[in-house]
Copies of this chain bind each other. A is one copy, B any other.
């Protein structure tokens, strides 16, 4: 593979959204809810809310606003009672402050030596910039669904990244812990690397597949990716 740029899915691939959201939920809502179950339920509303944008039922809406709407719905559905505007705003910012998986900063730092490294996430630009500063993720630049007015898995997101990087698609490697993200990237001509993240949905949930046989590479961490690509 003659890859020049690596573009990364972020939630689940580079950062641990479940632990990060649960710890902020515990801090901000305390005994009112089960923090991990709350994180899981909040995350489960992510795909349906994006799909409403993807089908054109909603105009373009950044992820922060989708998170806020699904938070309001969830708090109502659970009958949590009074939660202030300030607390709701802070809860949405939990997604800006997610912790990196233990291998991410070291792996990205090594990969950056020989490659361009960028996000390619459904998170909005401000979220991704805040997250990078908080978690020390050394991106060369932040690429986001927000730049293209389309959410993954729409092809416009992958095509848009390739266009902005001014590279042939086969010189761009999509790195993700989700096989459907990789399949969509592959359909637009990108190379693909699968990262096995068995704990993304917590220790109780069924783990994702150990490998993606359709991907160019399967690795268990970003440091292993650096070992494989050089860096």
A residues contacting B by CB (< 8 A) are: 62, 64, 116, 118, 124-126, 128-129, 132-133, 139-142, 146-147, 164-167
Contact = CB atoms under 8 A, between A and B. Distances in A.
A137 to B, nearest CB: 10
B165 A129 contact: yes
Nearest to A5: B129
Given A116-B133, A129-B141, A147-B147, A124 B166 contact: yes
Given A125-B164, A126-B164, A140 B147 contact: no
Given A116-B129, A124-B164, 18 more contacts: A62-B166, A118-B129, A124-B166, A125-B165, A125-B166, A126-B164, A126-B166, A126-B167, A128-B141, A129-B140, A129-B141, A129-B165, A132-B141, A133-B140, A139-B141, A140-B142, A146-B164, A147-B164
Interface centre among A116, A141, A142, A147 (most CB of B within 10 A): A141
A147 B165 CA distance: 12
Contacts of A165: 125-126, 129
A120 B65 CA distance: 25
A65 to B, nearest CB: 10
30 contacts: A62-B166, A64-B166, A116-B129, A116-B133, A118-B129, A124-B164, A124-B166, A125-B141, A125-B165, A125-B166, A126-B164, A126-B165, A126-B166, A126-B167, A128-B141, A129-B140, A129-B141, A129-B165, A132-B140, A132-B141, A133-B140, A139-B140, A139-B141, A140-B142, A141-B141, A141-B142, A142-B142, A146-B164, A147-B147, A147-B164
Those 3 A-B pairs whose CB atoms lie nearest each other, nearest first: A126-B166, A141-B142, A125-B164
Contacts of A124: 164, 166
A139 B166 CA distance: 19
A210 B118 CA distance: 38
Nearest to A124: B166
Contacts of A164: 124-126, 146-147
